[in-house]
């Protein structure tokens, strides 16, 4: 069981942590949140969706929904298979909790141990954060800031009714509604741009175009005119990214 406590030299000065990649549940509900900074790399490698649970929206790799496909993302034990690992799975024992206008770092004391081998010391001999810990916490802070931006963009899409179920009957995973996006104009278009919502929507659409959506759309896509040049570009980009 997790036991979180504020990270401090007094309580954790002689302990260390092990950089690991977290496993995921195989029950079909797992998803991995994706920050705005991660979107460009992930959109050309994984199908993306927008997940809405208990009023919170965020872009995700819908791992559980993809497990039954030809290229499952998890191994038999729930381990992440692809070479590129989302930061959400590399947080280690740390959690950053927003308190007022600042973030406080908490650590899971149940996974700390004496430094040595793969175990990285939390603090150095002077009582300061070790270089490895400081670098990791800096990356965590940057990722969380980017995640807040992603959540704001996803929420803006949801509130503007620019999403549709990712597949028929889906209640938590959504994809951009191409028709609704195409109809945007004027002030609403500017608002979606300012919030980052347009960028997020286009990244999710790009992921489905490049990867080939692993699940059918919620409704038949409208017929499109042949676009040999565009199709050739997508094929070339798929080959380059494979």
d(CA 164, CA 6): 40
pLDDT attached to residue 237: 47
Query: Could you give the percent of the chain with pLDDT greater than 90?
Result: 55
Question: Domain spans of the chain?
Answer: 4-241
- pLDDT confidence of 71, banded at 50, 70, 90? low
Res. 225: pLDDT tops 50: no
**Tokens 């590399």 belong to which residue?**
90
Q: What would the two tokens of residue 151 be?
A: 């959540």
Query: What is the per-residue pLDDT for 73?
Result: 84
pTM value surpassing 0.95? no
Sequence-ordered alpha helix ranges (H) in the chain: 9-12, 39-43, 63-66, 131-159, 178-182, 186-194, 197-211, 228-241
Q: Are 44 and 207 in contact (CB under 8 A)?
A: yes
Instruction: Copy the structure tokens of residue 220.
Output: 């038949």
How large a percentage of the chain has pLDDT more than 70? 85
């Amino acid at each position: 069981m997790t036991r979180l406590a504020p990270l401090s030299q007094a309580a954790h000065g002689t302990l260390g942590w092990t950089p690991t990649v977290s496993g995921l549940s195989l029950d079909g509900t797992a998803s991995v949140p994706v920050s705005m900074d991660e979107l460009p790399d992930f959109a050309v490698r994984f199908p993306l969706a927008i997940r809405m649970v208990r009023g919170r929206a965020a872009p995700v790799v819908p791992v559980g929904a993809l497990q039954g496909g030809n290229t499952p993302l998890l191994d038999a034990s729930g381990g992440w298979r692809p070479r590129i690992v989302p930061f959400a799975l590399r947080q280690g024992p740390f959690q950053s909790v927003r308190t007022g206008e600042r973030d406080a770092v908490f650590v899971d004391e149940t996974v700390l141990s004496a430094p040595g081998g793969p175990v990285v010391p939390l603090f150095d001999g002077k009582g300061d954060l070790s270089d490895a810990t400081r670098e990791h916490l800096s990356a965590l802070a940057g990722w969380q800031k980017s995640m807040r931006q992603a959540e704001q963009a996803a929420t803006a899409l949801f509130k503007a009714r620019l999403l549709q179920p990712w597949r028929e009957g889906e209640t938590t995973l959504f994809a951009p509604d191409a028709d609704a996006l195409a109809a945007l104009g004027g002030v609403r278009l500017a608002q979606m741009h300012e919030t980052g919502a347009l960028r997020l929507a286009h990244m999710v659409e790009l992921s489905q175009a490049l990867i080939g959506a692993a699940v059918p759309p919620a409704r038949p896509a409208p017929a499109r005119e042949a676009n040999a040049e565009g199709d050739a570009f997508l094929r070339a980009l798929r080959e380059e990214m494979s």
